[in-house]
Amino acid sequence: MKTLISSFIGALISIMIMFNGTLSNSYGNYTSTVIIHLTGLFSIIFILLITRTKFKFKKNIPIYLYSAGAIGIFTVLFNNLSYSTLGVAVTIALGLLGQSITAIIIDHFGLLGMDIIRFRKEKFIGLILVSFGILVMTIF
């Protein structure tokens, strides 16, 4: 079930990048980023109201975890900048490569409180194949 949900998320991200990029072409990068995040804010408020979920800040959570919202803003902004010249497919492919490399570093060193999962040489083959695929996508 989680594999199916993850695949659905991948489809949603592709659609989101296209919508966000098109909105950015119409309104500009900064205004569209505000519109996108205000829409997200109103959507989650609506969901919280419908589900009657109470919202409260917890005191024992590290402050850096709250920076995820800022990371989300930069993700949308940089996707919008890339979309107009690279298109959806290459933007996503390069983003996934960056995510993979960052995830490997986080896992290998146990950064940000994660369990250590050592990098094995076999994973390097996958990174080379992904990089080659992205190269082919950008050339053709």
Q: Who's near 76: CB < 8 A, 6+ residues apart?
A: 20, 33, 36, 37
Lookup: tokens for 101: 């490399």
Residue 86 reports pLDDT greater than 90: yes
Residue 121 reports pLDDT greater than 90: no
Q: Where are the domains of the chain?
A: 2-139
- What pTM, to 2 d.p., does this model score? 0.81
Residue 107 reports pLDDT greater than 90: yes
Mean pLDDT value of segment 52-61: 86
Residue 6 reports pLDDT greater than 90: no
φ, ψ of residue 123 in degrees (nearest 5):
-70, -30
Residue 56 reports pLDDT greater than 90: no
